[in-house]
Amino acid sequence: HDLGLFFLEQSDSIDGMPEISAKQRTELGKKSRALRREGMLPAVLYGESVKSTPLSVSARDFKKVLAEAGETSLVTLKVEGEEAHNVLIHDVAKDPLTLKPVHVDFYAVRMDRPIEAKVPLAFAGESPAVQNEGGILVKVLHELEVKALPQDLPHEIAVDTARLEKIGDRIHVRDLVLPAGVTALAPAEEAVALVEPPRSETELEELTKAEEVAPAAEVKTEREAKAETKKHLLLTADFP
């Protein structure tokens, strides 16, 4: 994990941030299974000027913090015997069968340098074009890449579909209301959501047939996608 991003001193922490405690971990490799049986989750902390450190955190506490902060909100990581770090939950490896977390990566961030991150979009509201005209709501984007200081990164970005009043209406990136200090990196004219005309039974049948014969697209695993994101963050971070 030698992909260092940023480091932060405890004195720069922000009040009200979710917190999680951690201990340095000596159980590595297969020995990590014993930790999980005890309700602990193997983790690692790394960042600029931060030595890669194996940790363990409470699986129950991590579940709560992940629900509150997601992967774009800051978390205070309190490592036993050390100063606290402001971190992002960057990579969560999950068991393929149970989908429970089995390992987590914490990125220590530096608060005075903007970073790029993909923030989930939260769709809300009822589209009149869908309700009254039978239109089909198409969500083109499910996350938006933004640039901001770590403390300004939002947990999610709201998308109000109630503004889609007629068939063919669109919501563009430029229409989104972003928090102060947050800049969208996607083109302003890129579509976020739109309403298509209702499909006939014949069109639906043809669409179903096309899906059945279409070759399966290559699907990246979560870890592969996150690995690409890590490289992207490293290349785009504003270093001094």
Q: Tell me the one-letter amino acid at 175.
A: D
The model's pTM: 0.68
pLDDT of res. 208? 73
pLDDT of res. 183? 97
pLDDT of res. 7? 31
Question: With a cut of 70, which residues of the chain have pLDDT below it?
Answer: 1-16, 29-31, 200, 203-204, 207, 211, 213-240
pLDDT of res. 23? 92
The tokens describing 192, both together, are: 């976020």
From the number of C-beta atoms within 10 Å of its C-beta (0-12, 13-18, 19+), residue 232 rates as middle
Strands 40-47 and 101-108: parallel
pLDDT of res. 131? 93
pLDDT tens track for 129-143: 999 999 999 999 999
pLDDT of res. 33? 76
pLDDT of res. 227? 58
pLDDT of res. 237? 53
First to last CA, the chain: 21
pLDDT tens track for 192-208: 999 999 876 776 577 67
| DSSP structure string for 94-112 | E-TTT--EEEEEEEE--TT
